[in-house]
């Protein structure tokens, strides 16, 4: 291969890597500061002055072996500030083998809000989360659907804020901020803090790209049944609504707190699964790259789409600079720097007991994330991803 072609490959891959990690966040910040056309106040001002009837809501919680969280989730729901006659709560159990049903019944007996419309719908067969969502939404007659994980606690005013946001007819999806009760690593905490800033800015520009599956809401009439093989339902579902011309709003006042503890191994397992879904959605939502979607297309390509292909771009950049270093001595330091970064990340990975400095931990988390992203993407492309839904926990990782 000629050096000209090798230079072209190195420059293109290097630019895309730098753009995704550095330039895109800076561009988002600049565009957000200049954006003044999007109303982020949470609805029409006149609605605040009128006694508008709150929309009906069905809260759907898909469950698979969530016994450890059922009781706390029910107690949390009972504290949510929303009229009981406007709210239905449905736990959809998908073939659990633990004591979820028994704990649910016990928790209901001790519930201080006995007027709540809350049910536990059990299926003896593990069909998968997508099948559960399709069934649950189709069975609902409410104005709004709220999807939430059993292991995530919901802020008590979340539904009031969602209802207020939905007074804007252009809003089709409302997403919550996601945080861990006990973050697994400093790198993980930094990553989620970064994601919050990115999604908030995307929302201000037009629409957030994807949501946190722990808690989000959408208009029921906008729902399109998901294909059975969908992996990241919390991305495909809201983005289908965005494709229909509605906004996905990200609100930092709505909070979902994850109770499930995490560690490096568990985080890697989750990220490989999510990465397989990222590859799937990058191929199935190619229409979102069309200029007709404006800022949404820009954010999708610059963020999620490039992130999916980033492991392969990093590999191409490394191999091309390594090849060029044999002809151009001044390229060698670039190749050596990459080797040093990957070696450092590998060292941190194999020495979890060492208290490394925060910048080094961040480098490790970033590299480990791209590694998991690459493995997950390859598994999907090779047809090796396991579609069966199972709870990823500290015990099952």
Q: Is the C-alpha dihedral spanning 333, 338, 344, 346 positive or negative?
A: negative
Whole-angstrom distance, CA of residue 207 vs CA of residue 247? 5
- pLDDT 10s digits, 149-203: 999 999 999 999 999 999 999 999 999 998 888 766 777 777 778 888 889 999 9
Q: Which residues contact 61 (CB under 8 A, 6 or more apart)?
A: 73, 89, 90, 91, 92, 147, 148, 149, 150
**Closest residue by Cα to residue 380 from 307, 280, 283, 303:** 280
Is residue 162 a contact partner of residue 174, using CB atoms and an 8 Å limit?
A: yes
Whole-angstrom distance, CA of residue 282 vs CA of residue 286? 6
Q: Which two tokens stand for residue 184?
A: 């697994």
Report the percent of the chain where pLDDT is more than 70: 89
Is residue 74 a contact partner of residue 150, using CB atoms and an 8 Å limit?
A: no
Whole-angstrom distance, CA of residue 55 vs CA of residue 171? 14
- pLDDT 10s digits, 318-330: 999 999 999 999 9
pLDDT at position 250, please? 96
Whole-angstrom distance, CA of residue 130 vs CA of residue 240? 15
Residue 40 pLDDT more than 70?
no
- Strands 152-154, 247-258: parallel, antiparallel or unpaired by DSSP? antiparallel
Residue 395 pLDDT more than 70?
no
- pLDDT 10s digits, 238-271: 999 999 999 999 999 999 999 987 666 666 777 8
pTM value? 0.87
Mean pLDDT of 9-31: 93
Q: How confident is the model at residue 33 (pLDDT cuts 50, 70, 90)?
A: low
Class for the domain spanning 45-262: alpha beta
pLDDT at position 50, please? 44
What residue segments make up the domains of the chain, in order of their start? 1-34+271-397, 45-262
Alpha helices in the chain (DSSP H): 3-18, 24-34, 45-49, 67-78, 100-109, 129-139, 158-165, 186-205, 233-243, 264-284, 295-300, 306-324, 332-349, 358-381
Residue 104 pLDDT more than 50?
yes
């Amino acid at each position: 291969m000629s050096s000209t072609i090798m230079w072209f490959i190195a420059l293109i891959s290097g630019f895309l890597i730098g753009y995704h990690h550095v330039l895109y966040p800076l561009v988002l910040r600049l565009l957000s500061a200049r954006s003044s056309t999007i109303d982020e106040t949470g609805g029409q001002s006149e609605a605040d002055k009128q006694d508008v009837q709150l929309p009906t809501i069905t809260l759907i919680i898909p469950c698979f072996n969530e016994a450890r969280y059922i009781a706390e989730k029910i107690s949390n729901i009972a504290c949510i500030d929303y009229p009981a006659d406007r709210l239905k709560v449905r736990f959809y159990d998908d073939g659990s083998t633990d004591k979820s049903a028994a704990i649910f019944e016990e928790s209901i007996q001790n519930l201080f809000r006995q007027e709540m419309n809350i049910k536990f719908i059990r299926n003896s067969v593990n069909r998968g989360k997508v099948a559960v969502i399709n069934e649950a939404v189709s069975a609902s007659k409410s104005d709004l659907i709220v999807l939430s994980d059993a292991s995530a606690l919901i802020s008590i005013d979340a539904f009031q804020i969602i209802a207020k946001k939905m007074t804007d007819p252009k809003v089709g999806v409302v997403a919550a901020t996601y945080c861990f009760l006990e973050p697994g690593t400093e790198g993980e905490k930094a990553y989620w803090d970064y994601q919050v800033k990115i999604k908030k800015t995307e929302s201000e520009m037009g629409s957030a790209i994807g949501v946190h599956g722990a808690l989000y809401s959408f208009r029921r009439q906008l729902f399109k049944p998901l294909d059975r093989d969908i992996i990241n339902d919390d991305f495909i579902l809201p983005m289908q609504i965005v494709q229909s011309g509605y906004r996905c709003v990200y609100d930092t006042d709505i909070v979902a707190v994850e109770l499930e503890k995490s560690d490096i191994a568990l985080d890697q397992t989750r990220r490989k699964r999510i990465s397989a879904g990222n590859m799937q959605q990058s191929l199935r939502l190619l229409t979102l790259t069309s200029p007709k979607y404006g800022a949404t297309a820009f954010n999708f390509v610059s963020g999620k789409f490039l992130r999916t292909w980033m492991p392969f771009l990093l590999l191409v950049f490394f191999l091309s600079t390594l090849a060029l270093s044999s002809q151009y001595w001044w390229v060698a330091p670039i190749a050596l720097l990459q080797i040093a970064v990957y070696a450092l990340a590998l060292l941190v990975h194999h020495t979890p007991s060492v208290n490394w400095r925060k910048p080094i931990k961040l480098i490790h988390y970033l590299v480990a994330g791209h590694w998991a992203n690459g493995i997950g993407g390859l598994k999907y492309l090779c047809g090796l991803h396991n579609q069966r839904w199972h709870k990823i926990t500290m015990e099952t990782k």
